[in-house]
Structure formats: C-alpha cells, structure tokens
Amino acid sequence: MAECKDIAEEASNILNGDLPFRKRIALHIHLFYCSCCRNYIQQLKQTIATISVFRPIEKDSTDMSALAKQLQELAKKQ
C-alpha cells in the first residue's frame, strides 16, 4: 500500500504520467483518501508552472553581441 512518502518520491512521475500500471493505481488510491498528498501534488504542479513562467537561466557574463559578431565574421570567412 502506498504512503505519503511514496507520493513524495514519485510525485514527478505521477505528474509526468510515467508509472507502471500497478504503482499508478496504488498511488492514486492513496491520493483519493489523503488530502495532504493531493495538496502536495497541487503545490508541485504550481511550482512547475511557476518555473516555466519565471524561466530562470544560468548565470553568465558572456558579451552576447561580441560573440554574435565573432561568429558572423567566422561564417563570412568560409
């Protein structure tokens, strides 16, 4: 039988729809009676949606226009 910890461990696979049938059923039965885990899954969904909107990126100090220019010159030489 699935418990709250199993939901926490498999939450991404639940959201990605990426679980074997038996496991999926066991986890969904738990979700049916556990409102905390339903809320947790909902929060994780909101986290994912928020990241997708926020779109954080790698810290980078590259001078993008200089790099573009350098590559353009390289392409012209070919």
Binding site for another protein (CB under 8 A): 3-6, 8-9, 11-13, 16, 18, 36-37, 39-40, 42-44, 46-60, 62, 64-65, 67-69, 71-72, 74-76, 78
Euclidean distance between the first and the last CA atom of the chain, given in angstroms as a whole number: 64
Of 16 and 21, nearer to another protein (C-beta) is 16
Residue 28 Cβ vs another protein, minimum distance, rounded to whole Å: 16
Residue 76 Cβ vs another protein, minimum distance, rounded to whole Å: 4
14 contacts 7 by C-beta, under 8 angstroms: yes
Residue 5 Cβ vs another protein, minimum distance, rounded to whole Å: 4
